[in-house]
Amino acid sequence: MNLNMQQFKADFFKALAHPLRIKILELLAEGEKSVNELQSLAGSEGSAVSQQLTILRGKNIVTGTKDGNRVIYSLRDPMIVELLSVAKQIFNNHLVDTISMLDQMKE
């Protein structure tokens, strides 16, 4: 595989490697939102949300569009929704395996 592609993937996954950034992406998967909406829905301070949005914008994962004096954010690529879904399925698979292993240990 091309080294540039591997670096792109590594940088992309680094940009996703924060719980608040994942929460923001999950919220944006439901539709575009302003910083204030994201702050309220995520239950986080505005500065923290803005900081994470800056990282996501820097990696072209989200886009921001000016609407008067506020910025409306959205996912740059709708495939992010699918990626989050696949990650959840992988997590669930690991959870099922762990539960199965614990059940076997009880026996």
Alpha-helix runs per DSSP H in 1-107: 3-16, 19-29, 35-42, 46-58, 79-106
Q: What 3-state class would DSSP assign to 32?
A: coil
pTM comes to 0.83
pLDDT of residue 3: 85
Distance of CA 34 to the CA centre of its chain: 16
In the chain, what are the domains? 3-76 (1.10.10.10)
pLDDT digits (tens, 9 = 90+) for 60-96: 999 999 999 999 999 999 999 999 999 999 988 888 7
- The stretch 48-57 carries a mean pLDDT of 95
